[in-house]
Structure 1
């Protein structure tokens, strides 16, 4: 497994912070009086490495975050798709979720794709996502979404796809011309690797994957076998999981293998793998690898709602003993799609344990040496939501499968 540890420097308020990313992938700040941000979690209270493994870690997780800024570069785009539209969460929502994540004092932040709408230009990242979530940047471990790769030609818009350029330029840095660096916080940006990587927090091995296979970067090839880029990523994942020595594993990418909102078709059940997207169908192979290697959790975005699914085997059947629990957390701020919960309170996918589509919020995971707990609370109601929109909470715990 290739190490992703790097040394970065942050200059903020006249204070130079060196060595922000430690060997465990956890952000570390030196010579600051306050206990957070970036308090060291790489050693235990007794100062030894075993103490680090015995610690608990906070992982904040969410996707589908920042609205498209209403600026000169987006002047030709429909106003209904930009910050300020009453149907979107806008700046209010992305700032609210960023503040919620910050209040968790996380050791790391898993970003589940579609960080920036509509096509993730670098200028959009700088003028929207950065304004709200930039304070957590050196804790952020992103995965890309379709809005960072594909063109957007819906609802009167007509924007060319960025093929990941703005995403990598923002997270990895860029030269004076805006060309992304080939490696950095979001993983490698080359012809042979498109931003997949892994890192560890104590006893947890965490994998960030890129499922945007219907893009020029992937040759528009969503096959997980053969010689294409997605097949190479799948082979990398198999080797990464084989090399992993941690007892707990969580993986995340954007489009979910198992949908929380789709009603399926006449011939394909809502609970089937990949029913909501071809990318989710491709990720079926990843689910099989993760199940084979006793992974505990899968995190996704894409669907603008929150949902926790029952533990599932690779076929989408409930397996409380060996199944993987999937969380869909697409409530980062851009918009809410009220499609997760039916009018009668049931769910389109019968394998959904609970779902929420009335507001915005970030998941708080506590990663323990041999298990985890989770707590999801909305922080801001969505457009047109009722007075009870902020009363929802989903909390619980589980054990690792490794």
Structure 2
């Protein structure tokens, strides 16, 4: 296997370097200087969200049904993605963790340029993405029939590309090679943060979702084990797209919501990642894919509540494209580990990362289709420590 993809604190981005350097020198500079001021060297803001941008209604998508494109009344559309982008910007984040499905329906480069870029492009320098199924897989539902991109548009957008549109082999989204499809890690203060690619049922992974053979997902799992072993920081976040444990009806048709792998074949593949992260006392796991917000209790890899050693899972698939339906109701969720959830509005998570602790603050910013402003009354906040 080729070298591990690792973005160090020295290369995590000019913004972070400026944050830690300038804040010490002059902590009272004006708000207009963001992101080069105001954050202390020992406290960082991480914005996190997935499932963001609608498919643009342009000539390249002329064959796509209008119900699946920006402007459809059943989607959040441009209004929602602009609202969540502004919410993230107003957080003055040090970095932005993108949890997959940044661009629908198949993440062509032109789709990224005509939709995601329009709303979220202003934060691109700070974005640390993970891919989702819509960046890799074909889409043949609801009257649509689009070929899978195997990450080409995703890497072309985040890593850059040559004049013909071929993505650069290395960049902001990690490596784009035969041996590494965009998994990487980076550090933010006392926090070690890992972005993983779960899209194993794709041509790029040879449709191989085994974590124990010689395939690409197995190599990724070996890399994760080595990366965790080498980490010296006390706090760890890992994120990928499909959640291992579910909160919505979209992913509970064949597997109980509280069972490992509720998100499908990718969720089952990620069971091995949960085991590695649990063994190394990871602090948080973040996912998207389910178009909702949900916070789950600390769990072991079997999905059992484990107050002492478990890892909380946050599902933050509320970036703007659409909304799903929760499995159950408050106090009676299909997954008993769901503490709180909402699927009536779009919003971005605000994490504050300190030396040995963290806090979260989630507030939706744009009502979903069919909902009014009362959906914005929801909020979820709290704090925790690194184990």
Normalised to the residue count of structure 2, the TM-score between the two structures is 0.92
Which residue matches 1:178? 165
Which residue matches 2:339? 353
Q: Equivalences for 1:359-398 in 2 at 5 Å?
A: 359-398=345-384
Shift of 1:37: 3.0
Matched, 1:206 2:193: yes
Query: Does the aligned pair in 2 maintain the 1:100–1:362 contact within 8 Å?
Result: yes
Counterpart Cα distance in 1 of 2:155 and 2:168: 7
Query: Does the aligned pair in 1 maintain the 2:247–2:338 contact within 8 Å?
Result: yes
Which residue matches 1:13? none
Matched, 1:334 2:321: yes
Deviation string 1:140-196 (CA, Å, 9 cap, x unpaired) is 000000000000000000000000000000000000000000000000000000000
Deviation string 1:246-271 (CA, Å, 9 cap, x unpaired) is 000000000001111148468x5321
Counterpart Cα distance in 2 of 1:140 and 1:100: 14
Structure 2, unpaired ranges of 5+ = 24-28
Shift of 1:5: 4.9
Counterpart Cα distance in 2 of 1:245 and 1:187: 21
Match of 2:158, SS?
helix
Match of 1:239, SS?
helix
Assess, with a 3 A threshold, how the Cα gap between structure 1 residues 22 and 270 changes in structure 2: closer, same or farther. Answer: closer
Residue of structure 2 aligned with 1:83, choices 67, 70, 81: 70
Residue of structure 1 aligned with 2:14, choices 20, 23, 37: 20
Query: Does the aligned pair in 2 maintain the 1:247–1:370 contact within 8 Å?
Result: yes
Residue of structure 2 aligned with 1:162, choices 131, 149, 155: 149
Matched, 1:241 2:214: no
Shift of 1:317: 0.3
Query: Does the aligned pair in 2 maintain the 1:24–1:200 contact within 8 Å?
Result: no
Matched, 1:399 2:385: yes
Counterpart Cα distance in 1 of 2:81 and 2:103: 10
Matched, 1:4 2:7: yes
Counterpart Cα distance in 2 of 1:351 and 1:21: 37
Query: Does the aligned pair in 1 maintain the 2:47–2:350 contact within 8 Å?
Result: yes
Residue of structure 2 aligned with 1:306, choices 293, 304, 322: 293
Structure 1, unpaired ranges of 5+ = 9-18, 45-51
Query: Does the aligned pair in 2 maintain the 1:25–1:200 contact within 8 Å?
Result: no
Q: Equivalences for 1:39-118 in 2 at 5 Å?
A: 39=36, 52=41, 55-118=42-105
Q: Which runs of 4+ in 1 moved over 6 A?
A: 23-29
Counterpart Cα distance in 2 of 1:253 and 1:196: 9
Shift of 1:137: 0.2
RMSD of aligned Cα (Å):
2.5
Query: Does the aligned pair in 2 maintain the 1:21–1:28 contact within 8 Å?
Result: no
Query: Does the aligned pair in 2 maintain the 1:25–1:199 contact within 8 Å?
Result: no
